[in-house]
Structure 1
Amino acid sequence: MTAVDAPPIVFVHGTRFSAGQWSPQLAALRDEFPVSAVDLPGHGSRSAEAWSLKAAVEVVSDAVESLGCGPALVVGHSLGGYASLEFARVRPERLRGLVLAGASASTRGAWAVPYRWAAGLVPRLPADRLAGWNDWLLRRMYPAEVVEATIRSGYAFHTLPAAWDEVLGRFDADAMRHVKAPVLILNGEKDSVFRSGEAEFARAHPRARVELIPRAGHLANFDDPVAFSEAVRRFAQHLSNSG
């Protein structure tokens, strides 16, 4: 693959995190592809900005444009996956391929009830206590080189209620019909909640396939950074080879 053929890749983080979530993938792929990771509105460097899906789409679109290499492969995790589905609907001309990671569950119906409850609870808890708990959990579960960039960037607990409120009730497998580009549904094998609709999501798109990261959970790119990066690499190479 030549530099001209290599598709640009834009990474979109999950709930409460930031662009730092993707530091292992950026390090693994930057020598082969133009890569970028965004901070969604209300997160990371954009912490003071108000959340909306519309604003999130513009952030992703600007990142694609800034790479200057044409339509991009967009990799979205969890909240970022649903934002990427909205990007695919609104800006199809800027999408070369889509990776949905931990974002192939319907956000409608009874599934959403506990998440609405949690979204209402978060603002009642001290942000510093939530941050400390997250720091402790990430450092206990993962090597420092995988999570330190995420920890340094802090957490967007203040944005979580607005983000979940807009996403819950909005997405199901029918959203896949708006995606004009090939799709890789990339889930952790043990992520039983967020891969619960993966078969329906895959059936709803003629060029979608499912790939699982063995023994990984919802944070599959932390659980096995190498396998996750390799899956994205293979998909990007497939996009390049198929034109």
Structure 2
Amino acid sequence: MESTPIVLVHGTRFSAGQWSYQLDALRRHFPVTAVDLPGHGARFAEPWSLGAATEIVAAAVDSLDRGPALVVGHSLGGYVALEFARRFPERLRGLVLAGASATTRGPLTAPYRLVAGLVPRIPADRLTRWNDRFLRRLHPPEVVGATIRSGYAFHTLPAAWGEVLGRFDASAMRHVAAPVLILNGEKDPLFRAGEREFARAHPNARIELIPRARHLSNFDAPAVFTDAIRRFARELPAD
């Protein structure tokens, strides 16, 4: 088994189940784990905070007992990973930002604030049905089945995005000491909007696009996404 440990951090409303395909593929070669953020998955009842989220990531790194880890964050998880990189630089060997290279500051975030305010007004069972149908229509069960079975954390969305919005832009990359891969779906214009600014703000960052993939790129092209993680992990310097 190769030495680079990998920690996977899910996106908005999901859980560690988001990474079922990647876990199965990567554990053949690397020590790897996926976390549930506060208010999500097995931590459904825990209150959200960005600080608590980063401590969960840090505990996951320590649990692999291989030194600093490659942390892969998707969407909300990407911004958690950026904050983790600032707070725990000694635990980070590399960083993958997937669908998380857009600024969360300024007037363009208004639609996200609107959505965060609307979600609590819609019954959770209705949101669950919509999400289940959406995922089943677009993706095979071996890719999204674990996500569907784990359920969704709609109740946490307002607090999570309320803390992330207004907090991150390309300047956050200056706090990242490790190499960075900015991994975006080619057809994800919103969340890759700032990818060039994010890359320019870091001396050892590169952008990689997944052809025809959208925001949920690890669902749209699971094998391609996983291969990008695998290649990047193998490029990282030893601890």
TM-score relative to the length of structure 2 = 0.99
Q: Which runs of 5+ in 2 are unaligned?
A: none
Alpha-carbon distance in structure 1 between the residues aligned to 2:59 and 2:3:
19
Alpha-carbon distance in structure 2 between the residues aligned to 1:8 and 1:132:
35
Map 1:113-124 to 2 at 5 A: 113-124=110-121
Report the number of matched residues.
239
Deviations 1:133-176 (A, max 9, x none): 10011000000000000000000000000000000000000000
State the secondary structure of the residue aligned to 1:158.
helix
Quote the offset at 1:110 in angstroms: 1.1
For 1:156, the aligned partner's letter is: A
For 1:15, the aligned partner's letter is: T
Preserved CA contact (<8 Å) 1:6 1:236: no
Aligned to 1:159: 156
Quote the offset at 1:129 in angstroms: 0.3
Alpha-carbon distance in structure 1 between the residues aligned to 2:218 and 2:98:
9
Which of 45, 48, 56 is 1:51 aligned to? 48
State the secondary structure of the residue aligned to 1:97.
strand
Quote the offset at 1:111 in angstroms: 1.6
Asked whether 1:220 is paired with 2:231, we answer no
Q: Which runs of 5+ in 1 are unaligned?
A: none
Alpha-carbon distance in structure 1 between the residues aligned to 2:225 and 2:203:
23
Quote the offset at 1:26 in angstroms: 0.5
Quote the offset at 1:191 in angstroms: 0.3
RMSD after superposition = 0.8
Map 1:60-75 to 2 at 5 A: 60-75=57-72
TM-score relative to the length of structure 1 = 0.97
Which of 133, 137, 140 is 2:134 aligned to? 137
**Where in structure 1 do 4 or more consecutive aligned residues deviate above 3 Å?**
none
Map 1:104-119 to 2 at 5 A: 104-119=101-116
Q: How high is the sequence identity, in percent, across the aligned residues?
A: 74
Asked whether 1:97 is paired with 2:94, we answer yes
